[in-house]
């Protein structure tokens, strides 16, 4: 077990939105180094429940932002723009904005056109506008 899996298990056990929301910050503030097992765990979490996938996207965004993982993780975050859960698509778009990922502009354009959930589409369009003007 790692610190990440311990924190994850606690959030699963308690089913607390507050724990899920704070999990990325709690983990990234204390992690000295990202282990390969942690990255594999996060990739797998993208395939589980909505709250787990959202937490995984937020953690992966923070790791890239802090320079703790290979920037290739951006490819995974870009892929989340078409995730089955609207909340995951929304935090993926926000994450790409936080990372100033201008290479995601084309994908965002397509995602905006295909998005069926209004708030997600509006968020993606906003992020797209911000990235296009940087």
- What does the pLDDT profile of the chain (134 residues) look like in tens digits? 677 888 888 888 888 778 887 888 877 777 767 788 888 999 999 999 999 999 999 999 988 888 777 778 899 999 999 999 999 999 999 999 999 999 999 999 999 999 999 999 999 999 999 999 86
Q: What is the phi-psi region of residue 85: left when phi exceeds 0, alpha when psi lies from -120 to 50, beta otherwise?
A: beta
Residues near 9 by Cβ (< 8 Å), separated by ≥ 6?
none
47 phi and psi, to 5 degrees?
A: -100, 0
Distance, in Å, from the CA atom of 80 to the CA atom of 92, rounded to the nearest integer, reads 6
**Amino acid 1: pLDDT:** 63
pLDDT at 15: 81
Closest CA to 96 of 82, 116, 114, 113: 82
The torsion defined by the Cα of 115, 117, 97 and 64, in degrees rounded to 10, comes to: -90
Q: Is the pTM of this model over 0.75?
A: yes
Smallest CA-to-CA distance from 80 within 100, 50, 40, 102 is with 50
């Amino acid at each position: 077990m790692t610190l990440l899996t311990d924190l994850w298990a606690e959030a699963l056990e308690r089913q607390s939105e507050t724990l899920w929301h704070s999990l990325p910050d709690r983990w990234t503030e204390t992690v000295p180094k990202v282990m390969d097992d942690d990255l594999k765990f996060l990739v797998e979490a993208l395939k589980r429940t909505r709250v787990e996938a959202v937490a995984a996207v937020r953690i992966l965004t923070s790791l890239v932002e802090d320079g703790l993982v290979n920037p290739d993780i951006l490819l995974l975050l870009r892929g989340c723009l078409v995730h089955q859960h609207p909340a995951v698509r929304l935090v993926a778009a926000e994450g790409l904005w936080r990372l100033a990922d201008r290479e995601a502009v084309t994908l965002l354009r397509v995602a905006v056109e295909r998005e069926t959930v209004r708030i997600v589409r509006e968020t993606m369009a906003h992020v797209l506008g911000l990235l296009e003007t940087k």
